[in-house]
Every structure is written in C-alpha cells, then in structure tokens.
Amino acid sequence: MVPATPPAEAFLDRPPDEQDLFGSPSQFEPGDPPDAMEEDASAPQQAPPDGGMDMSTVSEVSPDEEVIATIINALGCDGKSSRRERKAAAQRILSEVYSPPRITKMLAGMSAADLVPGLALDISCDDPLDGLPWDFSRSEKRDRARSLLRTQRPLFLVGSVMCTAWSSWQQLNAAHDPERHQQALVAARVHLQFLLELYQEQMEGGRYFLHEHPAHASSWTEQMVQDLLAIPGVERSDAEQCQYGASVLSGEHTGSPVKKPTGFCSNSPFLLAALSRRCTGHGGACSRPQGGTHILCEGKVAKDAAIYPPGLCRAIIKGATDQLRHDGYVRPGHVG
C-alpha cells in the first residue's frame, strides 16, 4: 500500500481558479479495499466506498447510468450481463479518457478478467446523449464527462491527452508562426488541466490513475504536471513501445519495430512496474525477441503508433490486476 497525500502547498500556491480546478487537498490511501469485503457475506449490505456504483440499491436507472450502459454496450458487452458484472464488481472498473476504446475493448473480449471495462471517452466516439463527439475543447463536454465519471467512479482511469502541441516538431514550428503555436498551446493546456482534475478526483476517492504521454513531450515540464509528480505516491516510469509490440503497420517496412519512448505517471506502483520495459539495442537495433531496426516515428508511422499495440494494453491490464490483488479486491483463486 502506498500512501498518497495531495500536496497542499503545491496546489494552494496556485491562483484561485487553479485551486478550484484541483480541489481542496485531503488525505487518502489509494486502493483501500471496501470494508464489505472483510465482512461475512450474510451481513447486511453496506453502502460501497467511493470506488463504484451501488447498483444493488438502485430501483431506477439514472440518465448518466443509461449513458454509461450504452457506451459499454458499444464495446461489445451484452447489456444485461454487463449490468450484472458492474453490480458484482463495481470496485473493479477501468475507464479511459482522451482515448478510443483500447484497453476497455480488450477487456470486453476477455471472459475471465478481474477488471470490468468502463467508459472510453474520446473525440473519435460519440456521446449517446446528443450524438456529438466527446470534444473536450467544449466546456459542456468536459462537464458531461465529469458527471459520468463521478457516477461510475472507476477504480482505474487511464488518460492520454492530445500530444500535437507538445511535440518537438511543434517547438520547431513555433519560430515560424509563434502566434498560432501559442494559441495551440493555450488550448492544449485546457485539455491537460481537465485531465489532471480527473486524476485529482481519482486520488481523493482513493482510486488510481494512469497518465501517458511521449517521453520527451514538453508537457512533462509544465508546472501543473510537476505538481502532480510531487504528490507522495505518484511516480513516473519510462518505456519503449517496441518492447510491447509497436511496429510499422503498412508499407515496405511493415513489421519493423517502432521505438516510441513513452512516459507514464501513476499512483499505482504495479501499473508503473508493468510499464517500464526499455529497449537495450544500440545503433538503431531493437532488442525485442525478433530483432529488427527501428523505423523513424513520423508521418503515417506516427499516426498508426498513436494506437496502443495489444502488448501495451495487456501490460496495463496486468499492472492493474496486480494492484487489485495486492489491495485485496480479488481474493486468491477468485475468477472474474
């Protein structure tokens, strides 16, 4: 168990509007198993802690819960069985933000997983309420996402904010069109602050988050990210995605490894342990079992590499599952 305390000094030193963004500091221990797990099964059922929906006491489904069910059904889960799973395993939900269904989609296809697939909110997906994309540049969509996540309260929240404005290429372009670059950076900071707000709510609820961004993106130097990393229990790990199967998907170099150095930030030590594989090859050579020479991650290769390879999704699921078992959410020998 890793204790984590939001850094009161770091957030209280912020301007009032940014203090509101992150909320007031409080103490918590991420991943504390629900008290009900320690009680006899015949004991009266208690209200669950802030880690999942109490589906057993809901006589009428709220609009937000209907939307949650619709989004999860789109992953390929049967509506009735999905609801039964959420009722029995409300403490074990994993959701994604700024991400098309990747990890959640893989979970939906696993018959005996300890995790339950939750929301996947991304601009490539539509909000069932109005049929419009989850465009988080719009305040109403940020508010809708907050409402859904507060209803669902996933134990794990995986986030991967837009990276265009933070890339090294954009830093070079800043010299040619500084005004346009500054506008893009302001917009990107809105997205990043929103994502960090969701992480803060995860931690204040004793739950977990995973933040992913290119290892050398300038976003890591933003003060708000530095403040996040300063929270006790929050750490960063680095990995190369070639070690998780990232490769060229089409063209003459199909199958060649794509290194793609990536940074991960989390308050879950088991997630970070699963996301720390480094490439030890030299001179462009890849140390993956099948070898090969790294292909530069640019153009279509970079676009394709934005999709997590299956090996990376499996590593995230493994890390989250290891955290579940360590925290006592899943008893030894328990399946599903």
Q: Which residue has the tokens 């209803």?
A: 151
pLDDT at 107: 95
Asked if pLDDT for residue 44 goes beyond 50, the answer is no
pLDDT at 284: 96
Asked if pLDDT for residue 239 goes beyond 80, the answer is yes
Please list the residues that pair with 212 across neighbouring strands.
264
pLDDT tens-digit readout, 74-106:
444 444 444 554 444 557 999 999 988 999 999
What is the pTM for the complete model shown? Answer: 0.75
What is the spatial distance between Cα 99 and Cα 158, in angstroms, rounded to a whole number? 8
**Residue pair 207/51 in contact by the 8 Å Cβ criterion:** yes
Q: Which residue has the tokens 């493994």?
A: 318
pLDDT at 79: 46
The mean pLDDT of 204-211, rounded to a whole number, is 97
Lowest-pLDDT range of 1-10, 62-71, 100-109, 123-132: 1-10
pLDDT > 90: what percent of the chain?
58
Q: Which residue has the tokens 């989609």?
A: 105
DSSP state of 52: S
Three-state SS at 70: helix
More confident residue, 318 or 336: 318
Q: How confident is the model at residue 66 (pLDDT cuts 50, 70, 90)?
A: low
Rounded (10°) CA dihedral 318, 320, 323, 327: -130
Beta strands in the chain (DSSP E): 93-97, 116-121, 156-159, 208-214, 235-240, 261-266
Distances (CA, A) of 277 to 105, 234, 239, 280: 23, 19, 5, 9
User: Which amino acid, residue 244?
Assistant: Y
User: Which amino acid, residue 60?
Assistant: E
**Residue pair 324/92 in contact by the 8 Å Cβ criterion:** yes
Q: How confident is the model at residue 136 (pLDDT cuts 50, 70, 90)?
A: very high
DSSP state of 167: S
Lowest-pLDDT range of 149-158, 190-199, 282-291, 295-304: 295-304
Which residues lie closer than 8 Å to 117 by C-beta, 6 or more apart?
72, 75, 77, 93, 94, 103, 104, 105, 107, 108
Asked if pLDDT for residue 20 goes beyond 50, the answer is no
Q: How confident is the model at residue 251 (pLDDT cuts 50, 70, 90)?
A: very high
pLDDT tens-digit readout, 101-127:
999 999 999 987 899 999 999 999 999
pLDDT at 171: 64
Asked if pLDDT for residue 24 goes beyond 50, the answer is no
Q: How would DSSP label each residue in 173-235?
A: HTTT-HHHHHHHHHHHHHHHHHHHHHHHHHHHTT-EEEEEEETT-GGGGSHHHHHHHTSTT-E
pLDDT tens-digit readout, 170-199:
666 666 777 887 888 898 999 999 999 999
* Angle formed by the axes of helices 139-152 and 178-204, nearest 10°: 20
Question: What structural domains does the chain harbor?
Answer: 63-327 (3.40.50)
pLDDT at 43: 38
Dihedral of CA 195/113/313/326: which sign? positive
Q: What is the H or E stretch that residue 327 is in?
A: helix 310-327
Tokens describing residue 278: 């480094």
What is the spatial distance between Cα 146 and Cα 116, in angstroms, rounded to a whole number? 19
